Amino acid sequence: MEDREAKSILEALLFISGEPLTIETLKDIVGIDENEAERLLRELSDEYQLRNRGLLIVEVAGGFQIVTNPACAPWIKKFLNLTIPTRLSQQSLETLAIVAYRQPVIKAEIDAIRGVDSGAALKTILERRLINIVGRKEAPGRPFIYGTTREFLRYFGLKDLSELPTLKEFQEVEGVEV
Which domain-ending residue is among 34, 56, 78? 78
- Residue 178 is predicted with a pLDDT of 45
Query: Which of 150, 148, 147, 151 has the alpha carbon at shortest distance from 135?
Result: 147
Mean pLDDT by 10 residues, the chain (178 residues): 95 94 96 96 95 94 94 86 69 94 96 95 94 95 96 89 82 54
Q: Exposed/middle/buried for 126, CB within 10 Å: 0-12, 13-18, 19+?
A: middle
- What was the pLDDT predicted at 157? 86
How much is the pLDDT for 80?
75
- Is there a single domain that holds both residue 25 and residue 51? yes
Which helix (H) or strand (E) element contains residue 178? none
Q: Is the peptide bond before 74 cis (omega within 30 degrees of 0)?
A: no
CATH number at residue 29: 1.10.10.10
Entry pTM: 0.59
Residue 116: its H or E element: none
Dihedral of alpha carbons 164, 166, 167, 169, sign: negative
What residues does 84 pair with on adjacent strands? none
Domain that holds residue 46: 3-78
13 and 44 in a common domain: yes
